[in-house]
Each structure stands twice: as C-alpha cells, then as structure tokens.
Amino acid sequence: MIDPDSRVSGSSIKKLLEAGIDVKVGVEEEDCLKLNEAFIHRVKFQRPFGIFKYAMTLDGKIATNTGHSQWITGTNTRNFVHHLRSSCDAVIVGGNTVRRDNPQLTTHGVTTHNPLRVVMTKTLDFALNYHLWDINQAKTVIFTHSQPNATTKSQLLDKGVEIVEIEDINPTFVMNNLHQRGLNAVLWECGGNLASQAIVSGNIQKIYAFIAPKIIGGKNAPTPIDDLGINAMNEALLLNNTKIQQIDHDFLIEAYFENLELRM
C-alpha cells in the first residue's frame, strides 16, 4: 500500500522504480489496511485511532451492583488483553475505575512495551497507593480540571505522575493531546460513563467486546455504555466488519463503527 502521509506518500516507490526495481502496490491490500488502520486514521483525521475494550457477562453487565468486576473473563482472555495493550500506545480509564479496580493497565510482561497510562478525572480524589502511580512499571498521565486539590496534586507529582490541567476537559481534548505526542492507537478501558462521552464525540472507531458465559443480573449493575440519548431503534449506532472468536469459554466480538472511512 502507499503511505497515506502526504509528506512521503509514494516517494520511496518512485525512487525504487527510478532505480529499476519492480514495485507492486496493493498486494494483500485489505490486510495492509487493517494492519495499519491506526496509523492511517491518525494521518487522515489528525487524531489517534480509538478502540473501546470491555468485558461483560452474558446479560451485559461490566460489574456487579456493588461495582465489583474482577474478574469477568478467564485467564487466557485477560492474557489476550495484555497482548492487545502491547499493540496500543496509550490506555485510558476514568477516575472511578481507578478507585474501584486499582488496575495496573500494563502488558504484564508479555512484551517490554507498556502503553502510556492515561486517567481522566474531574476530582483528583485518589489514594496514593494505586498501581497507576508506580511509574517504574509504566508512565502515567492524569488529565484533570484545574485543581484545588493541591496536596494530592503535589504528592502525585512527587511520584513522577504527569498532570495536565485544563478548564474544560473532554475526550477530544485528551485525544488531541495524545496525537500531539505522536500516538497512533489508544485503548479505552473505561466504564460506561466515560465510554459514552468518547463514543458520542467520535473518539472510538473500533470495539472489542469480551463476553463471558456468566450471569449476574441486577437493574443497577453497570453496562458498558451509559446513555447516548437514543430513544428509538432506528437511531441505534451501527457497527460493521464484525468478527467473532472464542477464547476458552469466552467470546470476543470485534466491530467497527459505520461510516468510518479508512481508505485515503
């Protein structure tokens, strides 16, 4: 495939042809486009490619009604997620997930690469002993409103956590900031509140839904995506290019939001 970046697009091919080397373009093009989908999206839209990953029970719950969620899927599925993280440049969660789950958001040694760990919070209401503040494991950046919480802020800064303060924080600001850092693929591992904001603002292109054959029930048990303001089925967001695979007892469905143009 031709590099979609206009600064280089086709120039190497031209040089090779001028040197008398035969070049075939478009070989296994579908696979090339898929392999490079994050880079292509970044070049085209000047924003990283957003992937929303969640694990839910067969009745569509991402945690019990007490907020307990570890673990929904099995060991091999979680190992798959560690590999997925290793293919991403950053992973984003909201403050509530940090407080509830105390996640590490690392690749747990499957590769030496760990994505940048990103937290969005309005409150900065955090204990100091969370895994995410151990920057020896991986770097962490917090995006937050301008903070009155000076004590927590200075304690987190002392631990080496980066803090970006902004008056009106939202998913697009964060994704633009990550684009400026040169990042291609961003994995949203947040709960339903932040996920709905990221979806409506167009910051998620692809879904990885892990479904475990478990039922927990409960009206108040959270689901992957909060209110999107959709009242009728004909307003439902459509996904395409779906793929399903089984990982032990769990299933993974991959899908893309419709109307996403990946080709140049």
Ligand X SMILES: NC(=O)c1ccc[n+]([C@@H]2O[C@H](COP(=O)([O-])OP(=O)(O)OC[C@H]3O[C@@H](n4cnc5c(N)ncnc54)[C@H](OP(=O)(O)O)[C@@H]3O)[C@@H](O)[C@H]2O)c1
Residue of the chain from 121, 140, 147, 205 that contacts ligand X (CB under 6 A): 121
> Quick one: 138 or 198, whose CB is closer to ligand X?
198
The rounded distance, in Å, linking the Cα atoms of 159 and 126 is 13
Binder among 40, 51, 55, 156 for ligand X (CB under 6 A): 55
Nearer to ligand X, 139 or 145 (CB): 145
Of 118, 120, 138, 156, which lies in the binding site for ligand X, with binding defined by CB under 6 A?
120
Q: Report d(CA 97, CA 190) in Å as an integer.
A: 7
Quickly count: other Cβ atoms within 10 Å of residue 33's Cβ. 15
Shortest Å, Cβ 151 to ligand X = 16
User: Distance between CA atoms of 85 and 60, rounded to whole angstroms?
Assistant: 23
- To ligand X, the closest distance from the beta carbon of 145 in angstroms equals 7
Cα of first residue to Cα of last residue in the chain, in angstroms, is 11
Measure the CA–CA gap between 84 and 185, rounded to whole angstroms. Answer: 10
Q: Is residue 197 part of the contact set for ligand X (CB under 6 A)?
A: yes
Residue 72 burial (C-beta neighbours within 10 Å; 0-12, 13-18, 19+): buried
- Give, as ranges, the residues between 214 and 253 that touch ligand X (CB under 6 A): 222
User: Which residues make up the interface to ligand X (CB under 6 A)?
Assistant: 54-55, 62-63, 67, 69, 72, 93-97, 100-101, 120-123, 125, 169-170, 189-194, 197, 222
